[in-house]
Chain A
Amino acid sequence: MLTAVIALGALALVAAFGLAVAARAFAVETDPRIELVEAALPGANCGACGYPGCSGLAKAIVEGKVEIGACPAGGDGVAEAVSKIMGVSYRGGGERMVAMVLCGGSDQVAGKRFLYNGVRDCSSAALIFGGDKNCRYGCLGLGTCVGICPFGAMIMLPGGLARVDPVKCTGCGKCVDACPKKIIKMVPARRAVHILCSSHDKGAVAKKACAKACIACGKCVKTAPQGAIKIEDFLAVVNYDVEIPEETAGECPMNTIVVRKEGTSDTGFLDSVAAAGGDAI
């Protein structure tokens, strides 16, 4: 018994000495700020910054390779926290951007042209005749973007339309890359008026495919301030540099133009979905 205790104790002492020497001899110098910065970052490892995860970005920030506000998901709050750790001042970045699904064609207004029976994933569905939607530009409703959102900011409406909660959205842009129809765009969060259509079909074709399609009639272009909306290839497109009054939405004969306010709270967003019968913006 005693021999065993002494033997093991001696062994432990030798090993401890060895480890202590090794720790000194082979020590890797790391900047203690990396850990602090990493703790300040959101920790979602979303990859929106271009680095594989938050630790990668933290290292890059500390080494001065990228700017303080390089985390698109964190926004100003995170940037300020990081600037305190780094001991530099942060002037505030650009304006807050959020994702927006530019399609209003739910199953109720835009129907299907065939019965899709394949993989339940938008990118796979898009390989087959561009998807089953009547409108070949519209949201396919299989939720690839909802699944990929690291912040739970997206939901799929019952009518097969993806929607972004502007409060939860951090603007990481993962959904923009994931959407095979390329109908998700980053828009300034403070802007309220949006055109929910991405169809470049001519008016008659677009209208036949979807009851809420932009038919490029040009009415909004005339009503809105100069240069705020322009028609590009049979589609009205908002220029977010110019503020558009909310009344413009009422002018649209197809109800394609909608108003989404920045302040809509988390619960308010879901409530508005329920109130509109699953047809919210």
Chain B
Amino acid sequence: MKKWRFFGGIHPAYNKDMACSQATVEMPLPRELVVYLSQNLGAPSKPVVKKGDTVKKGQLIGEAGGFVSTPVHAPASGVITALEKRPSPLGDDMTAAVIEPDGLDEWAEGCNVERSCEGLDAGRIKNLIHDGGVVGMGGATFPTHVKLSPPEGKKIDLLIINGAECEPYLTADHRLMLERPADVLEGASLIAKAIGVTEVVVAVEKNKPDAIAAMKESIKGRGGFSVVPMDVIYPQGAEKQLIYALSGRKVPAGGLPMDIGVLVQNVGTAAASFDAVRFNRPLIRRIVTVTGRGVRKPGNVMARIGTRFADLVEFCGGYYEDTGKIINGGPMMGIAQPSLEAALMKGTSGLVLLRGGEVGQYVGDPCIRCGRCLEACPMHLNPSAISIFTERMRFEDAAQFNVMDCIECGCCAYVCPSRRPMVHHMRRAKAEIRGKSKKTG
């Protein structure tokens, strides 16, 4: 298969060896689960339970709050002890259903029942994926059923299953491809059926040869499927970059992959779709990589959604005293946490704990106009100019320089010799521009 090389990108230290050979371990039920009612990009879910209710595993606790929204389910059987604001890993406090598991772990009626996928039509698959609360599990948490519903007139002809996992440290997708390759492909074929696509490409970075071998082994006998080893370069797994690398097609600015006939789904999303359609098991657990030199026993954990980070780290042997930074997600795009109060969400692919000595304290210096960020930016932006505009509060100029197309991959900040907090500037500009457009309608 012909491949393209996207512009820019970087080669960070991957540090995946700490966790990539650790088989996924199922975590026992914690004492408390904090299930946020906003598990997806878009409208938050509306709670359908109240304090004191008894719930079963897989029972609906929040219904979709609109089209771009997903339902939320109880990750374990137990009692709802509170419906209140709790600290979230994303910043603002979010409304969460707090569940005290009863230890029985009983499935709700109708859940965990096998169903034949043979006769399902596209609409039914879409509905089952929606009802299962499936969202994009690579981190963006975009509702999957929305991606499967392209507007009239937009024909999708290529499905990419994203197993690139280019973010350093993280190995959750790697383990999933090793341990459940057939389920990933089953899920992929269901998604392909839902949108009427025959060509399915599984993209895996070359630094995961065992995963490539496992996936190649599993696609035998499946027509239209192929496994493509991808060059190891960050951000190979970013949607727009991956599409270009595989098909040479470019997503127009402000547009979506469906505009050019492509759909990208993460391997985790494919497996979750399979669980939802085949077994009626809603998305209530996921693989999360707990890694970094700060944690005593790095590894991959199968944990319930709502597991508090403190419990997760505890399960992995706790952290060393000199741990200096804890990041939700990977080191490039993740969000550093002020505490371990927050809980696992559907989009949390990892928790990276860095030792004090690994964490730098930088005060960004002025831009020296060296242009390295321009060479690194995979979106062809001019991060240097945008960051300076933002410092001067010239947000309209930043918008002129297409800051809204920034994917916040962090390549510019990584290469900056002045150690400027580039992504922070980008986010500020985007927040200001979004706020302004909201005000003026």
Asked if A168 CB lies within 8 Å of chain B CBs, one says: no
Q: Is the CB of A124 within 8 A of B362?
A: no
Asked if A120 CB lies within 8 Å of chain B CBs, one says: yes
Residues of the B chain whose Cβ atoms lie less than 8 Å from the Cβ of A128: 91, 335, 424
Interface residues of chain B, those whose CB is within 8 Å of chain A, are 91-92, 335-336, 338-339, 361-364, 391, 421, 424-425, 427-428, 431-432
Asked if A74 CB lies within 8 Å of chain B CBs, one says: no
Given the complex of chains A and B, what is the CA–CA distance between A114 and B338 in angstroms? 5
Given A118-B421, A123-B428: A129 touches B91 (CB 8 Å cut-off): yes
Asked if A27 CB lies within 8 Å of chain B CBs, one says: no
Q: Is the CB of B91 within 8 A of A130?
A: yes
Given the complex of chains A and B, what is the CA–CA distance between A130 and B336 in angstroms? 13
Question: Contact check: which of B335, B361, B391 meets A117 at CB < 8 Å?
Answer: B361
Given A113-B338, A114-B338, A130-B92: A124 touches B361 (CB 8 Å cut-off): no
Q: Is the CB of B424 within 8 A of A124?
A: yes
Which residues of A80-132 are within 8 A (CB) of B? 113-115, 117-121, 123-124, 127-130, 132
Question: Contact check: which of A113, A119, A129, A132 meets B428 at CB < 8 Å?
Answer: A119
Given the complex of chains A and B, what is the CA–CA distance between A123 and B425 in angstroms? 10
Beyond A117-B421, A129-B91, A129-B92, list 13 extra A-B contacts (CB 8 Å).
A113-B339, A114-B336, A117-B362, A119-B364, A120-B363, A121-B391, A123-B432, A124-B424, A124-B425, A127-B424, A127-B428, A130-B92, A132-B338
Main secondary structure of the interface of A (DSSP, over half): loop
Q: Is the CB of A119 within 8 A of B339?
A: no
Q: Is the CB of B363 within 8 A of A124?
A: no
Shortest Cβ distance from residue A111 to the other chain B in the assembled complex, whole angstroms: 12
Q: Is the CB of B425 within 8 A of A119?
A: yes
The 5 A-B pairs at the shortest CB distance, nearest first, are namely: A114-B338, A124-B428, A118-B424, A129-B91, A119-B424
Residues of the A chain whose Cβ atoms lie less than 8 Å from the Cβ of B363: 120
Residues of the A chain whose Cβ atoms lie less than 8 Å from the Cβ of B421: 117-119
Interface pairs (20), CB distance under 8 Å: A114-B336, A114-B338, A117-B421, A118-B424, A119-B364, A119-B424, A119-B425, A121-B391, A121-B428, A123-B428, A123-B432, A124-B425, A124-B428, A127-B424, A127-B428, A127-B431, A129-B338, A130-B91, A130-B92, A132-B338
Given the complex of chains A and B, what is the CA–CA distance between A117 and B413 in angstroms? 14
Residues of the B chain whose Cβ atoms lie less than 8 Å from the Cβ of A119: 364, 391, 421, 424-425, 428
Which residues of A27-76 are within 8 A (CB) of B? none
Interface residues on A, range: 10 to 19
Given the complex of chains A and B, what is the CA–CA distance between A127 and B432 in angstroms? 11
Residues of the B chain whose Cβ atoms lie less than 8 Å from the Cβ of A132: 338
Residues of the A chain whose Cβ atoms lie less than 8 Å from the Cβ of B431: 127
Beta-carbon nearest neighbor of A147 in chain B? B393
Beta-carbon nearest neighbor of A120 in chain B? B363
Beta-carbon nearest neighbor of A113 in chain B? B338
Beta-carbon nearest neighbor of B360 in chain A? A117
Identify the interface centre among A118, A123, A124, A129: most chain B CB within 10 Å of its CB: A129
Given the complex of chains A and B, what is the CA–CA distance between A130 and B339 in angstroms? 14
Shortest Cβ distance from residue A227 to the other chain B in the assembled complex, whole angstroms: 32
Residues of the A chain whose Cβ atoms lie less than 8 Å from the Cβ of B338: 113-114, 129, 132
Shortest Cβ distance from residue A215 to the other chain B in the assembled complex, whole angstroms: 20
Residues of the A chain whose Cβ atoms lie less than 8 Å from the Cβ of B362: 117
Given the complex of chains A and B, what is the CA–CA distance between A220 and B389 in angstroms? 47
Identify the interface centre among A117, A123, A132: most chain B CB within 10 Å of its CB: A117
Shortest Cβ distance from residue B336 to the other chain A in the assembled complex, whole angstroms: 8
Which residues of A175-212 are within 8 A (CB) of B? none
Given the complex of chains A and B, what is the CA–CA distance between A129 and B335 in angstroms? 10
Beta-carbon nearest neighbor of B429 in chain A? A124
Identify the interface centre among B91, B335, B424, B427: most chain A CB within 10 Å of its CB: B424
Given the complex of chains A and B, what is the CA–CA distance between A118 and B424 in angstroms? 7
Residues of the A chain whose Cβ atoms lie less than 8 Å from the Cβ of B361: 115, 117
Given A117-B361, A117-B362, A119-B421: A127 touches B339 (CB 8 Å cut-off): no
Residues of the B chain whose Cβ atoms lie less than 8 Å from the Cβ of A124: 424-425, 427-428
Residues of the B chain whose Cβ atoms lie less than 8 Å from the Cβ of A117: 361-362, 421
Residues of the A chain whose Cβ atoms lie less than 8 Å from the Cβ of B364: 119
Beta-carbon nearest neighbor of B89 in chain A? A129
Q: Is the CB of B92 within 8 A of A127?
A: no
Given the complex of chains A and B, what is the CA–CA distance between A250 and B91 in angstroms? 38
Given the complex of chains A and B, what is the CA–CA distance between A117 and B325 in angstroms? 12
Shortest Cβ distance from residue B26 to the other chain A in the assembled complex, whole angstroms: 31
Given the complex of chains A and B, what is the CA–CA distance between A113 and B92 in angstroms? 14
Given the complex of chains A and B, what is the CA–CA distance between A114 and B339 in angstroms? 8
Residues of the B chain whose Cβ atoms lie less than 8 Å from the Cβ of A118: 421, 424
Given the complex of chains A and B, what is the CA–CA distance between A132 and B337 in angstroms? 11
Which residues of A114-168 are within 8 A (CB) of B? 114-115, 117-121, 123-124, 127-130, 132
Residues of the B chain whose Cβ atoms lie less than 8 Å from the Cβ of A113: 338-339
Shortest Cβ distance from residue A92 to the other chain B in the assembled complex, whole angstroms: 34
Residues of the A chain whose Cβ atoms lie less than 8 Å from the Cβ of B427: 124, 127
Given the complex of chains A and B, what is the CA–CA distance between A117 and B360 in angstroms? 9
Beta-carbon nearest neighbor of A132 in chain B? B338
Given the complex of chains A and B, what is the CA–CA distance between A129 and B94 in angstroms? 12
Identify the interface centre among A115, A119, A120, A121: most chain B CB within 10 Å of its CB: A119
Given the complex of chains A and B, what is the CA–CA distance between A127 and B435 in angstroms? 13
Identify the interface centre among B364, B425, B428: most chain A CB within 10 Å of its CB: B428
Shortest Cβ distance from residue A43 to the other chain B in the assembled complex, whole angstroms: 22
Beta-carbon nearest neighbor of A178 in chain B? B393
Shortest Cβ distance from residue A124 to the other chain B in the assembled complex, whole angstroms: 5
